[in-house]
Amino acid sequence: MKAVLQHKGVRFRYTHDLEELGKSIEEAGATVPEAVRNAVILSRYAFETRYPALYEPLTEADYQQAIQLAQAVVLWAESIL
């Protein structure tokens, strides 16, 4: 998502918040598909997985979902770049 913003010449703050990045992309005039919007749940992994004792352990289903969402974002970004 940051690569898309850079490609469009949009400055963004240092963040791991995918919702914020997605909004910035839309404000820059790009359409963010639903599959990429759904990836906002990955933002939690930027913090929660650093401190696993504070949160419920991830399941195999969580892992598979995260991989699918991340792949959707990468494919979308590559199509723009």
Rounded CA-CA distance 44/28 in Å is: 24
pTM of the model: 0.82
H or E element, residue 60: helix 60-80
Question: For the residues 29-50, what does the mean pLDDT come to?
Answer: 86
Hunting for tokens 């997985």 — which residue is that?
49
Q: How many domains does the chain have?
A: 1
Percent of the chain with pLDDT strictly greater than 70:
90
Checking if the pLDDT of 53 tops 70, the result is no
CB atoms within 10 A of CB 16: 13
- Closest to 28 measured CA to CA, from 43, 59, 7, 57: 7
Percent of the chain with pLDDT strictly greater than 90:
70
Q: Are 45 and 69 in contact (CB under 8 A)?
A: no
> Residue 32 is part of which domain span?
2-80
